[in-house]
Amino acid sequence: MSERFPPFELPEPVSVLMPVSNEADVIATVVQEWAEEVFQYLPQGSEMVFDEAASTDGTREILAELQVKYPYIKVFSRDKKDGFANAARRLYKLATCPLIFFTDSDGQYVAKEFWTIASFIKDYDMVRGAKVGRKDPFGRRFSSFIFNKAVHFLFSISYDDINCAFHLIRRPLIEDLLPKLNIMETLINSELLLRAEISNYQIKQCYVTHRMRLFGNSRGLPSYRFVFDSLKAFNGLLRIKASYRVIDFTSKDQG
Ligand SMILES: Nc1nc2c(ncn2[C@@H]2O[C@H](COP(=O)(O)OP(=O)(O)OP(=O)(O)O)[C@@H](O)[C@H]2O)c(=O)[nH]1
Ligand SMILES: [Mg+2]
């Protein structure tokens, strides 16, 4: 007997958000996977939104072709690349649906696992992926490990993959917290999770698969950047913690 797929229906439309830059080798496969495994089962009004930046490899043209086949695709292009975090911030602002899903466009996540994440959303404000069997170079995995431990140490919370880019969020959480994401320059999804946790939103962690990059190169960093970025990330954590101390102090003063 075959199992029903998807296992349930979502009552509300979803904005699936993806930043993309120079992913021509893989973007058509990624969109097709999402169309077959996810979008054909989503409620009317759902949308797939791309922030496309400065692609020179044909990504923009491929997305234009895909828009004809899949009318729920929306593409916002710019000629200058200004980084993952700015792209993510724009996407969160552009989303129009009550449920907001964010992921990378490089095909390392498995579209079907959207349903694993979505199965928890009725009881939570945010459902976060955590990569298992992560297919990243050792340096990236090591710095993530240290970062996750630093968060645990500073905030007394335990997540296995603070900066994972595979999560589903209820719109009010984004509307509340997006204007406050102003400290972590690159790790915007980490800051979102931390501020959601500190603001007592209900959050569920869920393990997800991470595949090898089939095409393209991993964004490896030169070692001086690696050290600099790690220090900046740690400093960001301290500043987020300090920003809540100030708020606590002020509210007590006023209370
Ligand atoms: N719009 C936009 N998208 C970007 C930018 N930088 C990266 N991306 C996209 O964001 C996603 C994540 O990119 P990265 O952070 O470079 O990749 P990663 O998954 O962390 O690392 P690797 O896959 O190992 O390179 C990918 O789908 C990229 O195409 C940017 O400046 N602008
Ligand atoms: Mg990747």
Give the pLDDT confidence of 187-241 residue by residue, as tens digits: 999 999 999 999 999 999 999 999 998 776 666 566 667 778 888 999 999 999 9
What is the predicted pLDDT for the residue at 114? 98
Number of structural domains in the chain: 1
161 Cβ below 6 A of ligand 1: no
- Nearest bound ligand to CA 78? 1
What is the predicted pLDDT for the residue at 235? 93
What is the predicted pLDDT for the residue at 85? 95
91 Cβ below 6 A of ligand 1: no
Mean of the per-residue pLDDT values for the chain?
Answer: 91
Hey, whose CA ends up nearest to atom 10 of ligand 1?
19
Residue 85 lies in a domain: yes
Q: Ligand 2 centre from 189 Cα, in Å?
A: 14
| 50-79 mean pLDDT | 98
Q: Ligand 1 centre from 233 Cα, in Å?
A: 18
Which of the two residues, 53 and 1, has the higher pLDDT score?
53
CATH number where 215 lies: 3.90.550.10
Residue 8 lies in a domain: no
- Nearest bound ligand to CA 50? 1
> Mapping DSSP to helix (H, G, I), strand (E, B) and coil, where does residue 209 land?
strand
Residue 127 lies in a domain: yes
- Fill in the amino acid letter for 89: R
What is the predicted pLDDT for the residue at 254? 43
What six digits make up the tokens of 242?
């300090």
Residue 2 lies in a domain: no
Which of the two residues, 13 and 227, has the higher pLDDT score?
13
- Among 161, 162, 105, CA closest to 134: 161
What six digits make up the tokens of 216?
């393209």
Residue 4 lies in a domain: no
136 Cβ below 6 A of ligand 1: yes
Give the pLDDT confidence of 171-181 residue by residue, as tens digits: 999 999 999 99
23 Cβ below 6 A of ligand 1: yes
Residue 3 lies in a domain: no
What is the predicted pLDDT for the residue at 253? 45
What is the predicted pLDDT for the residue at 138? 86
163 Cβ below 6 A of ligand 1: no
Which atom of ligand 1 is found nearest the CA of 87? 1
88 Cβ below 6 A of ligand 1: no
Residue 9 lies in a domain: no
Give the pLDDT confidence of 242-255 residue by residue, as tens digits: 988 755 545 444 43
Q: Which residues contact 52 (CB under 8 A, 6 or more apart)?
A: 20, 21, 59, 60, 63, 75, 76, 77, 78
Which residue in this structure is represented by tokens 């993530």?
144
Which of the two residues, 247 and 34, has the higher pLDDT score?
34
What is the predicted pLDDT for the residue at 252? 45
Q: For a pLDDT cut of 70, what percent of the chain falls above it? A: 92
Which atom of ligand 1 is found nearest the CA of 105? 27
Instruction: Tell the burial category of 171 from Cβ atoms under 10 Å away from its Cβ (0-12, 13-18, 19+).
Output: middle
Q: Which residues contact 166 (CB under 8 A, 6 or more apart)?
A: 102, 103, 104, 109, 113, 117, 128, 129, 131, 208
What is the predicted pLDDT for the residue at 246? 59
204 Cβ below 6 A of ligand 1: no
Q: Which of 4-13, 72-81, 233-242 has the highest mean pLDDT?
A: 72-81
On the question of pLDDT at 92 being above 50, the answer is yes
Q: Which domain holds residue 22?
A: 14-254
Residue 83 lies in a domain: yes
This prediction's pTM: 0.93
- Nearest bound ligand to CA 22? 1
| Choice from 21, 52, 147, 221 to test ligand 1 binding pocket (greatest atom count within 8 A of CB) | 21
* Whole-number Å distance between alpha carbons of 29 and 17: 16
Give the pLDDT confidence of 115-146 residue by residue, as tens digits: 999 999 999 999 999 999 988 888 888 889 99
| Choice from 20, 136, 185 to test ligand 1 binding pocket (greatest atom count within 8 A of CB) | 20
